[in-house]
Amino acid sequence: MNLFSLLVSALVFVVVEGHDGHHHDDQMPLNYVKFPQPIYRVGEVTADAIFSGITTFAKLPWVQCLTRESHIPFDIAFIGAPFDTGTSYRPGARFGPAGIRAGSRRLTLYGGYNVPLQVNPFNSGLRIVDCGDIPVTPYDNKFAIQQIENGHKSLLQREAYSPLGNDTVSGKQLSPISLDGKHHPRVVTLGGDHTIVLPLLRSIYSAYGPISVIHFDSHLDTWKPSVFGGAPSEQAAINHGTYFYWASREGLINNGTSIHGAIRTTLSGPEDYDNDDESGFKRIEAREIDTIGTAGIIEKIRQTVGDGPVYLSIDIDSIDPAFAPATGTPETGGWSTRELRTILRGLDGLKIVSADIVEVAPAYDTNAELTTMAAADVLFEVLSVMAKTPLGKVVED
């Protein structure tokens, strides 16, 4: 150790000793972050411009939820699942979590108040954290899929930090909507290719049973392995075009109350839609926006899913490649970022128990971070909707 690094260590020690009087011996760069997160931290030790520091989603505090800080409770957790060995075309979504975090740095520049939804999720009283990434092996899909399920389940199966509270309309106590009667936190997963939704839905099932799914994507993803390129092995049959087929067969999806939006893929033939029907999904084609508009699309979604628990999965390729080019299987003729954000705000009031955004492959992005910024902004709408709607129902006496 030379004199310089000695000096640096001494400085770091002073810093981590910190003003809360506790000594943190771990390497915890966001030591200065408090709940709720102040926008400016006058007199703090670390430069805190939105373009500086360690990048977490929206500059949220980093909590090592899966390891040494598993005792810290939260209400909403962001977590990455850097898996991309289930892709059929462009690989690279393993860099999605890092890319989305980079694209999200500006989210709280002005404070994070969502004007149309009239909420600031960052100071709504909920504890929102970034848990980093689930460890995911790039060498063995079977193992990786199990890692993703375990990581997600470990977060989901905890008790939420904030109590459910009372219903704003009736004033009566809310009770959890989960199967086990526990008030679970919500998890927002940063993919990763779309295969990750199979283990995520297995985890969701453990808390909520079969779930209604809202799925934004240009593709069906309910394909039978035999149709979707065939499958030389059992493991190859589970990929980013077939995971909903398997999820449906495992009984993880509510039949008839799940829906795809932004569909515009070509098919092997019309029978792909019969197979999709059998998998339990309704469909909204991307082009329907020309006739029924965003309002019509929102209405279709709400009619389909009702007011039960719902899981939200967003493939970034639901957005047109003009606005989000950096994705595994781009399809032209999609929705604009503005249109998808409007549709997401239209889900206000739905009980979204958890969500993901997938197929962001930053290597194909522009230098302007077009896709990763779109992904982050889309999640800002999801976060705002979550912050407004507690996962509870009124107890009738």
Ligand X SMILES: *[C@@H]1O[C@H](CO)[C@@H](O)[C@H](O)[C@H]1NC(C)=O
Annotated binding residue 217: yes
Going by DSSP bridges, is the β-strand pair 392-394/174-176 parallel, antiparallel, or unpaired?
Answer: antiparallel
Closest by alpha carbon to 121, among 392, 393, 379?
379
CA angle 72, 75, 76 (to 5 degrees): 105
Least Å distance between CB 315 and Mn ion?
Answer: 4
Annotated binding residue 219: yes
Least Å distance between CB 259 and Mn ion?
Answer: 14
Nearest to ligand X of 69, 278 (CB atom): 278
Amino acid at 364: Y
- For residue 364, the tally of other CB atoms under 10 A from its CB is 16
Among 75, 84, 217, 369, interactor with Mn ion by CB under 5 A: 217
Annotated binding residue 167: no
Annotated binding residue 23: no
Nearest to Mn ion of 218, 342 (CB atom): 218
Least Å distance between CB 165 and ligand X?
Answer: 7
For residue 147, give the H/E element and its range. helix 141-156
Least Å distance between CB 235 and ligand X?
Answer: 22
Max Cα-Cα span within the chain: 72
Nearest to ligand X of 173, 336 (CB atom): 173
**315 binds Mn ion per the rule CB under 5 A:** yes
User: Which residue ranges make up the site for ligand X (CB under 6 A)?
Assistant: 166, 171-173, 248, 255-256, 278, 280
Nearest to Mn ion of 183, 194 (CB atom): 194
Closest by alpha carbon to 287, among 274, 278, 296, 275?
296
Nearest to Mn ion of 331, 348 (CB atom): 331
- Residue 171 touches which member of Mn ion, ligand X, none, C-beta under 5-8 Å by kind: ligand X
Least Å distance between CB 359 and Mn ion?
Answer: 6
Proportion of the chain in helix, strand, coil states, percent, rounded to 5: 35, 15, 50
Integer Cα distance of 68 and 80 in angstroms: 17
Integer Cα distance of 210 and 305 in angstroms: 13
- Residue 64 touches which member of ligand X, Mn ion, none, C-beta under 5-8 Å by kind: none
Give 274's contacts (C-beta < 8 A, 6+ positions apart): none
Q: Which residues bind Mn ion (CB under 5 A)?
A: 194, 217, 221, 315
Instruction: Please give the annotated binding residues, written as ranges.
Output: 194, 217, 219, 221, 315, 317
Instruction: Please give the annotated binding residues for Mn(2+), written as ranges.
Output: 194, 217, 219, 221, 315, 317
